[in-house]
Amino acid sequence: MKRNPDMPTEKDTTPIKVGVLMYTYNRTDDARINMEIIRNEWKKVSLLKEVVIVHCFNGDSSWWPKAYLENDLCHTKNPGHFEGAELLINTGMRIFSKKHPEVTHVVILASDTWCVKPDYVAQVVTAMHSEKAYLATSAWGSKKDPNMFKVGMSLDFSLVDLGFAKTYKMFPLRYGEFVEKYGEVFSYLGSPVYLERLFALRFKQAVSRSVRVPSENLTEKVAYAHIHHMREREPIHHDALKAKKRIGVRDMYWPAIGLITHHDPIEKQKVLQKWSVDLGEHGRRFLEAVDLEYFNSGVTKTSFEKNGKEINYND
């Protein structure tokens, strides 16, 4: 990545401290195993020995009545899919800012996104620190649409410089405010307001507050210079024609970086069995299970049934 001339050149001596903001609705077994991976596997890497986990949850309180392995557990309301996810992320970032100011980098992690290769996480954090990058993320698109400021950024696995985010007001993401102002236009165009795209916009705006941009048409270029681009995960999506399906599909597993995001527990179990990972009681039960109907209480995220017809979410 080319260094932006506005980037500070002095050496940052602040000790690196990593936190994880995990957000969950109904994928509770995913979340428990994810925490076991972080507590048992990530600690083997010196930079990640004492990771702070803030868990934001908006499902039924009976599904997660008390903390498991997290440092902080926060229950929020659930106003909907995108707005609910936004509230979880906003709340988690606020908790980090107020309760854990020693944390320098926050990994935003969906509960069903498991990273079983902590060396990769440490590598990204170290690169962000040395490059003075304020965000590490991947484009939420395909080879055909790789511009993350147009297709959005991967909110299930991104890393944020907490000091930058707090100082330059990257959060809250203000999803509801955006929908209230522009939702009718998006509806007219036949598109929802995607949180991944709004996340990219808020980062761009935060960067424009942090540095002098000589011309508005350079804002995106300057913002991009402050990103550690996790290309190892791209492309995340594939075009429908190439996938030989009616709609596009997502990749769910990247062995080179140890990232497992399968929604199907059977596929997830097959992949996890290939890795030698230290787990806890929930992870061991998952690996040994013959019947996975119990997993996440049988939740299927990719589709729902209405009037006898299956409606596919795609994501």
Dihedral of alpha carbons 73, 74, 78, 81, sign:
negative
Query: Do the strands 227-229 and 135-137 form a parallel or antiparallel pair, or are they unpaired?
Result: parallel
What are the tens digits of pLDDT across the range 298-308?
675 544 455 56
Task: List CB contacts of 21: < 8 A, sequence separation 6 or more.
Answer: 54, 56, 89, 92, 93, 96, 106, 107, 108, 109
User: How large is the average pLDDT for residues 54-64?
Assistant: 95
- pTM of the full predicted structure? 0.89
Distance, in Å, from the CA atom of 147 to the CA atom of 315, rounded to the nearest integer, reads: 19
- Tell me the CA distances in angstroms from 227 to 14, 129, 130, 204, one per residue in order: 19, 11, 12, 10
pLDDT computed for residue 13 by the predictor: 72
> Which pLDDT score, from 0 to 100, does residue 313 have?
43
Residue 120: which of 254, 280, 269 has the closest Cα?
254
Kindly list the domain boundaries of the chain, sorted by start residue. Answer: 18-312
Give the C-alpha distances (Å, rounded to integers) separating 289 from 184, 215, 264.
47, 58, 14
pLDDT given for residue 239 in this prediction: 74
Q: Residue 2 in 3-state DSSP?
A: coil
Question: Residue 50 has which token pair?
Answer: 């004492």
Higher pLDDT pick, 311 / 95 = 95
What is the dihedral sign for C-alpha 55, 236, 148, 175?
negative
Amino acid code (one letter) for 7? M
Beta bridge partners of 105: 18, 161
Q: Write the pLDDT tens digit of every residue in 116-155.
A: 999 999 999 999 999 999 999 999 999 998 999 999 999 9
| 260-299 pLDDT, tens digit each | 999 999 999 999 999 999 999 999 999 999 999 999 986 7
pLDDT (0 to 100) of residue 139: 97
User: Under a CB-based contact definition with an 8 Å cutoff, are residues 169 and 209 in contact?
Assistant: yes
The whole-angstrom distance between residue 304's C-alpha and the CA centroid of its chain comes to 23
Q: Rounded CA gap, 305 and 245, in Å?
A: 20
Residue 9 has pLDDT above 90, yes or no: no
pLDDT at 115: 98
The structure tokens listed for 105 are 């980098």
Task: Select the more confidently predicted residue: 131 or 312.
Answer: 131
pLDDT confidence of residue 297: 87
Tokens of 173: 């993401």
Residue 49 in tokens: 């020995």
Look at 303 and 209; give whichever has higher pLDDT: 209
In the prediction, which pLDDT does 307 show?
A: 57
pLDDT at residue number 6: 44
pLDDT-derived band of residue 172, with 50, 70 and 90 as boundaries? very high
CATH of domain 18-312: 3.90.550
What is the tens place of the pLDDT at every residue in 225-245? Answer: 999 999 999 999 987 655 555
Is the omega angle on the peptide bond into residue 118 within 30 degrees of 0, that is, cis? no
Position 181 pLDDT exceeds 80: yes
Average pLDDT, the chain: 90
